[in-house]
Amino acid sequence: MTRFSDHYVFFLVQLLASIELMTGNVKESRGSMQCSVILGDYSGEYSRRGPVEPSTISSRKVKIGINGFGRIGRLVARCALERDDIELVAVNDPFISTDYMAYMFKYDSVHGRYTKNQIEHKDDGTLLFGKFEVKVFQHKDPSEIPWADTGAEFVVESTGVFTTKDKASAHFKGGAKKVVITAPSADAPMFVMGVNEKKYTPDLNIVSNASCTTNCLAPLAKIIHEKFGIVEGLMTTVHSVTASQKIVDGPSAKDWRGGRAACHNIIPSSTGAAKAVGKVLPELNGKLTGMSLRVPTIDVSVVDLTVRLEKGATYDEVKAAVKAQAEGELKGIVGYTEDEVVSSDFVGDSR
């Protein structure tokens, strides 16, 4: 059983919209099974597909700022620019000049050239996305970013650095009201679309969208657990390379294997995704464990989940359960196909 998707940023933007709304504006055996799920690392099909329709969210636009214009930050911008209910008003990145930001946004090695709007470098402090002006700042300290001057109420914290509540709260000094962290957090509550986003309450000002792997694993685990009950499980993710890896062998003091050439090796690595599932699905806390293998692909990864079930189930019953959710409550989040597809077929898939 295989689920394909390339969805992380799409669900991140859906989470932003949901927060605004809620703020007030397999192999078969008896008792066990094995599933494979393919996920994407950072992107989405920049559309309005999914569980939260813009028309149901709010009559006013959610004004967002992005801190960190790397892979995730730029794709959040692409996704936001395709929505009628979200307005990108500011970007902060101290390591990229404004004209280089325009270049990196326009040309993407995975998702291709951006053609929806003309992007221009107006001046050192402004980018033009079609007719829309986006203010650009270059502060290393997030407390110095003047979000209030731009009207940005929600900040997407996509640097991968300020991932705790204490560090992310620095954005409030500049006028931000809510912060969504685009990575797992040690202490901020984590939300995954289709799993636990309805548990968000307006008093939560800093939240995490978890990791790409958790966004892949959690919906599938939820389906299986609610239908058959999970006693215990093992997850293995075969994961595309990331920016932290090396093109050729290089120093990596904390992770010696991680310093080996990414394009020439299958590299065993650690992952916190299985443990994170217990945070968004408390009933599975402590029941899942996992490992990761980094492979030489640039986008779209696979999660293989093997579980022991409380109730016996045939392969067809498991497939039917996933298909029903893909066409029902989790439509736009989970997909189902029996076509002879491969990972690259799902670059840009928002599910």
In angstroms, how far is CA 246 from the centroid of its own chain? 23
**Is 212 within any annotated ligand binding site?**
yes
**Is 93 within any annotated ligand binding site?**
yes
Kindly write down the DSSP assignment for every residue of 28-66, as one continuous string.
EETTEEEEEEEE-SS---SSS-SSS-GGGT-SSPEEEEE
**Is 187 within any annotated ligand binding site?**
no
- Angle between helix axes 98-106 and 71-81 (nearest 10 degrees) is 70
- 290 Cβ neighbours under 8 A, 6+ residues apart: 217, 234, 235, 236, 237, 271, 273, 274, 275
- 192 Cβ neighbours under 8 A, 6+ residues apart: 11, 209, 210, 214, 215, 218, 219, 280
Q: Give the closest residue to 173 by CA, choosing from 201, 150, 141, 203.
A: 141
Q: Give the closest residue to 47 by CA, choosing from 350, 330, 336.
A: 350
In angstroms, how far is CA 335 from the centroid of its own chain? 16
**Is 242 within any annotated ligand binding site?**
yes
Q: Is 75:44 a contact under the CB 8 Å cutoff?
A: yes
Dmax (CA) for the chain in angstroms is 64
Q: Give the closest residue to 82 by CA, choosing from 345, 348, 298, 344.
A: 348
Amino acid at 257: R
Active site residues: 212
In angstroms, how far is CA 189 from the centroid of its own chain? 15
- Angle between helix axes 212-228 and 8-23 (nearest 10 degrees) is 70
**Is 182 within any annotated ligand binding site?**
yes
**Is 71 within any annotated ligand binding site?**
yes
**Known binding positions for D-glyceraldehyde 3-phosphate:** 211-213, 242, 271-272, 294
Which residues are known binding-site members for NAD(+)? Answer: 71-72, 93, 182
Which residues are annotated as part of the binding site?
A: 71-72, 93, 182, 211-213, 242, 271-272, 294
